[in-house]
Structure 1
Amino acid sequence: MTFYTILLIIHLVAAVVGLGATFGMPVLMSNVKTVSQAQFAHKVSKGIEKFAKVGSITLLLTGIIMAIINPYLFKEVWYIASLVIYVAVQPITAGILPKKEKLQLKSLESHEGEELPEEYKKLAKQVIPFNNVLHASAVILIVLMTVKPF
């Protein structure tokens, strides 16, 4: 087994782990109905988020190392497009979504009772389009890396 093959296997496993977590978190968060459920879901989400982050970083690093080993990849449109998409969604992943989650948690801290506060619900609705962008980007990345259309 070559070093490149090992990198490719790591790359594929990172994709499964990272993308699985990325697709799973919104499902978890969209099913909360009470403050207790929301608090628990956010705790679980923190654990899942670690898999998404490690998978995402591993994907980037192994992808770049594979291109260094095979420099022709830097000339492939599908490869460059994949890197551009990856970088383009980072503000959502590393900036917007964590800020929204902090605001949601803050709305839960000051709230009494089990009914979800309106501010929490409002923030949850604001997150949906960002998650849709992330999911669409992930699907496009999978297609680009599997089919290598151009």
Structure 2
Amino acid sequence: MTLYEFIVLIHVIAAVTGLGSGFALPFVLKGVKTAEQAKYSLGLNYLIEKGVKIGSIALLLTGLILGALNTSLFTEVWYISSIIIYLAVQVVAAGIMPKKIKRMEEIINAHNGNELPEEFTKINLELKPLNAILHTAAVLLIILMVLKPF
């Protein structure tokens, strides 16, 4: 196995762990009906998010290393598009969503009782289109990396 092939292997593993586990996140909070369930789900979300972050960072780094090892990749539209899409969705993944989830944690931790606060439910609904953006981008990235269409 060459160094390049090894980096490709790490890149694929990073895609599976980073992008793959990210698909689980919306389901963790989807069926929450009580404050107790919300606290548990947010804790589980935090654990899953660790894998997403590690995999996503490894994905970016290995992708750039592959480009450094094979500089012709920087002339490929699919490769440049992948980097642009990845960086663009980081605004949502690393900027907007963590703030919303942190606010949900604050709301649920300050809440007394077992019914879900209305503000918690409202923010949870706001996460749906953001998750759709992330999932669409992940599928698009996978398609670009596998098919290399242009």
> Which bracket does the TM-score occupy, shorter chain normalised?
over 0.9
Alignment of 1:101-140 (within 5 A): 101-140=101-140
Which residue pairs with 1:33 in the alignment?
33
Q: Corresponding residue for 2:96? A: 96
Shift in Å at residue 33 of structure 1? 1.0
Distance 1:55 1:29 in 2: 21
Aligned to 1:142: 142
- Where do residues 4-19 of structure 1 align in structure 2 (5 Å cutoff)? 4-19=4-19
Q: CA shift at 1:133, angstroms?
A: 0.3
What's the secondary structure of 2:23's corresponding residue?
helix
**CA deviations over 1:12-47 (Å, ceiling 9, x no partner):** 011111112110011111121111111011111111
Q: Alpha carbon RMSD of aligned pairs, Å? A: 0.7
Q: How does 1:38-53 map to 2 (within 5 A)?
A: 38-53=38-53
Give the gaps of 5 or more residues in structure 2.
none
Q: C-alpha distance in 2, partners of 1:129/1:143? A: 21
- Does residue 78 of the first structure (1) align with residue 88 of the second (2)? no
Q: In the TM superposition, what whole-angstrom CA distance separates every residue of 1:37-90 from its partner, at most 9, and x where no partner exists?
A: 110111111111110001000000000001111100000000000000000001
Which consecutive segments of 4 or more residues in structure 1 shift more than 2 A?
none
Letter matched to residue 57 of structure 1: I
Q: Secondary structure at the match of 2:24?
A: helix
Unaligned residue ranges in structure 1 (runs of 5+): none
Please state how far the C-alpha of 1:102 moved relative to its aligned partner.
Answer: 1.1
Q: Secondary structure at the match of 2:111?
A: coil
**CA distance in 2 between partners of 1:20 and 1:79 (Å):** 20
Range 13-22 or range 77-86, more displaced: 13-22
TM-score between both structures, scaled by the size of structure 1: 0.98
TM-superposed deviation, 1:110: 2.2
Question: Matches of 1:110 and 1:16 in 2, distance apart?
Answer: 36
